[in-house]
């Protein structure tokens, strides 16, 4: 974020995955301004980070603050015994911060981790927020919209899209309007070589660390605990389907589904549980904490992903028909924004 010129960010649920103390060390070590008006240190009762930051662009002063939804489902790593933070009601905490900012700046920007519905409710009941960037949800808005006089932008999450808005002011710094939109960060937008290299090195480091942890958990002479295998009674194409459906098996091997796991290996994501859910078979409920592993015979998107468990088919001869809903479990807006059932289905039909 520092390399890309980010001037400020706020605390989200994923930032607290390893607890508050870990996050505090990261912030101190990297110098990225992190702001929040309603996240508190559990021990001291003080705000966990600065409530706001002030930046100036073209003679116009902006105050940037942030807020996290108190009802956020914060999932922590299994080594975290205590989160270390508490989350206050944003309506109560933001009011004082926004009032203070308007004494120092021309415009107030809120980095909202409240979700769309809560963000709308906030600006309807509390004036003074001029611009708002909404995070948390995968949904995005191609164009900004206004609620209660607040210009709201929703680029989605996980860095898949970017909102580019340009604000216009007159010589007296009076706000005239804006132009811009949200766009996909796809292949048409070239990557910065230095940042792309950092990202690749980061993924490789995580992949290596995950493999070392998995190896350490395998049964050993000292009785070390193994990583539990994960399966929902699925058997894999080689063990069952191939015996009766060889032509379909041959056709499947030529599809992208049969190479789904190799895609993860090339991207150094083959130990990432979030990716494994859709690039392997019967793993949609795979725990995200690394406590289970996908059996090697269930790698790739095999027959049972689309047609149901082979154990059920063997008992009564039924199998699942492929529908749009079948595909959307993985080809959703977040992971496959260009998905078109009519276009994709012929590529795997047999």
DSSP secondary structure, 155-220, as one string: --STTSEEEEEEEEE-TT--EEEEEEEEEE-STTSPPPHHHHHHHHHHHHHHHHHHHHHHHHHS--
For the entire predicted model, the pTM comes to 0.74
Cβ atoms of 151 and 144 within 8 Å: the answer is yes
Higher pLDDT: 47 or 76? It is 47
Question: What is the reported pLDDT for 232?
Answer: 59
Question: What is the reported pLDDT for 27?
Answer: 93
- Separation between Cα atoms, residue 118 and residue 112, nearest integer Å: 9
Q: Report in angstroms the alpha-carbon separations of 327 from 6, 243, 324.
A: 36, 25, 5
Mean pLDDT, range 203-223, rounded to an integer: 75
Exposed/middle/buried for 93, CB within 10 Å: 0-12, 13-18, 19+? buried
Beta-carbon neighbour count of residue 229 at 10 Å?
Answer: 11
The answer to whether residue 89 scores a pLDDT higher than 80 is yes
Question: What is the reported pLDDT for 222?
Answer: 46
Tokens in use for 294? 């996908």
- Separation between Cα atoms, residue 181 and residue 166, nearest integer Å: 9
- Separation between Cα atoms, residue 2 and residue 269, nearest integer Å: 24
Q: Which of 274, 240, 238, 275 is nearest to 258 (CA)?
A: 238
Cβ atoms of 298 and 231 within 8 Å: the answer is yes
Q: Residue 228: pLDDT band by 50, 70, 90 thresholds?
A: low
Question: What is the reported pLDDT for 191?
Answer: 85
Cβ atoms of 114 and 68 within 8 Å: the answer is yes
Q: At what angle do helices 90-102 and 116-125 cross, to 10 degrees?
A: 60
DSSP 118: H
pLDDT in tens, 117-166: 999 999 999 989 999 999 887 788 889 999 988 999 998 877 788 888 99
- Separation between Cα atoms, residue 349 and residue 121, nearest integer Å: 46
Question: Furthest-apart CA pair in the chain: how many Å?
Answer: 78
Which residue carries 């206004």 as its tokens?
146
The answer to whether residue 214 scores a pLDDT higher than 80 is no
């Amino acid at each position: 974020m520092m390399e890309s010129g980010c001037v400020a960010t706020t605390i989200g649920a994923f930032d607290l995955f390893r607890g508050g103390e870990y996050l505090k060390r990261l912030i101190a070590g990297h110098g990225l301004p992190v702001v929040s008006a309603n996240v508190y240190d559990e021990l001291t009762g003080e705000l966990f980070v600065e409530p706001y930051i002030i930046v100036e662009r073209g003679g116009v002063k902006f105050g940037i603050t942030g807020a996290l939804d108190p009802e956020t489902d914060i999932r922590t790593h299994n080594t975290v015994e205590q989160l270390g933070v508490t989350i206050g009601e944003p309506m109560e905490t933001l009011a004082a911060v926004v009032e203070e900012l308007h004494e120092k700046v021309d415009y107030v920007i809120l980095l909202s981790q409240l979700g769309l519905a809560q963000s709308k409710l906030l600006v309807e009941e509390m004036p003074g927020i001029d611009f708002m960037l909404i995070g948390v949800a995968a949904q995005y808005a191609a164009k900004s919209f206004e609620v209660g006089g607040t210009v709201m932008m929703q680029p989605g999450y996980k860095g898949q899209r970017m909102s580019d808005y340009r604000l216009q002011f007159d010589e007296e710094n009076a706000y005239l309007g804006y132009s811009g939109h949200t766009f996909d960060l796809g292949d048409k937008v070239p990557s910065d070589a230095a940042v792309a290299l950092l990202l690749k090195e980061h993924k490789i480091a995580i992949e290596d660390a995950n493999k070392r942890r998995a190896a350490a958990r395998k049964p050993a002479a000292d009785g070390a605990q193994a990583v539990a295998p994960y399966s929902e009674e699925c058997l894999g194409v080689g063990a069952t389907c191939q015996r009766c459906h060889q032509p379909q098996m041959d056709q499947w091997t030529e599809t992208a589904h049969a190479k789904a796991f190799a895609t993860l290996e090339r991207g150094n994501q083959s130990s990432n549980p979030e990716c494994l859910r859709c690039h392997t078979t019967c793993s949609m409920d795979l725990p995200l904490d690394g406590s289970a592993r996908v059996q090697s015979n269930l790698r790739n998107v095999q027959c049972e992903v689309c047609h149901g468990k082979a154990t059920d088919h063997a008992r009564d001869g039924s199998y699942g028909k492929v529908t749009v809903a079948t595909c959307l479990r993985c080809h959703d807006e977040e992971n496959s924004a260009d998905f078109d059932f009519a276009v994709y289905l012929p590529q795997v039909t047999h």
